[in-house]
Amino acid sequence: MKPSFGEKIYLLAVYLVLAVAGLLCLLPLVHIASVSSSSLQAVASGHVTFYPIGFSLDAYKQLIEGTPIMRSFLNSVQITVFGVIFSMLFTILAAYPLTRSYFIGRRTYTFGIVFTMLFGGGLIPTYLTIRSLELINTYWSLWLPGLVSVFNLLVLRTFMENIPTEVDEASRIDGCGEWRYLLRIVLPLSTPVLATLALFYGVGYWNAFFNVLMFINEPAKFNLAVLVQQMIQSQTMLSQMNAASGSSEQIMLTPEMVNAAAIIIMVLPMMAVYPFLQRHFVKGVMIGAVKG
């Protein structure tokens, strides 16, 4: 059906609004990338806008050589990879039983799980609990408190409930047990929502900040988020970087260059992973939210 003139105007307005919103989100990142890859003179003079001037990677070089950013990068990778594995495993194991009609008390368990979304123990009891479990200064203090997101659990449960009962009945007739049904049928059918939840968990663990400050005491175990925050607030690290150059002609950097390079290093992994999960993202969220 050919759209009318009014519909064309409406679609044009929608596209323009979305284009402006997209640019407003993209331009700050482009500016930061330009600052991180421009020359010292261009950044110091304030001429860098949305493209590099005097292309240079000195900021990245000095950042890698003069700071523990690579160690923090590996810490972030460790926190994220193992955190996503643990969270996805327990989210699946918690969501699947809640979809079984013969699971006695599933409504009670569901109410108890949803109740935690409305009321929490608070900051101090959480810290005291982690300390009593002797998890301070270990990554388990980051993984266990947020092991299962209630929102993600409900999304996955809703998706699994929408799998046709005929599939379940046919698998039972063929002698399929619970574990085999879950691993061979339910999980392959849930690929879109599983990819979406993995992305949610991954972004959360990668950007973990407050829990790292609260539970991790050794600077050697800090992740990228904490290190970048410390670099932005402290000028001491910049002075150490400028003084650490072994060459006769030291490469002096401005705080803007160092901070911009650190931010790019922090956001680049998530930007690299997202395109591989994009085709599952919208489908997973929409399918998992069809039914309450």
Q: Which two tokens stand for residue 205?
A: 């663990």
pLDDT at 285 over 60: no
Q: What is the pLDDT of residues 168-202, one digit of tens each?
A: 888 888 788 888 888 888 888 888 888 889 988 99
Could you read off the pLDDT of 74-109 as tens digits, one per residue?
999 999 999 999 999 999 999 999 888 888 888 888
- Report pLDDT digits (tens) over 116-158: 888 877 888 888 989 999 889 999 999 998 899 999 998 889 8
Q: What pLDDT score was predicted for residue 93?
A: 92
The pTM score is 0.80
| 13-54 pLDDT per residue, tens | 999 999 999 888 888 888 888 888 888 788 877 778 887 888
Q: What is the pLDDT of residues 233-246, one digit of tens each?
A: 765 555 555 555 54
The residue type of 264 is: I
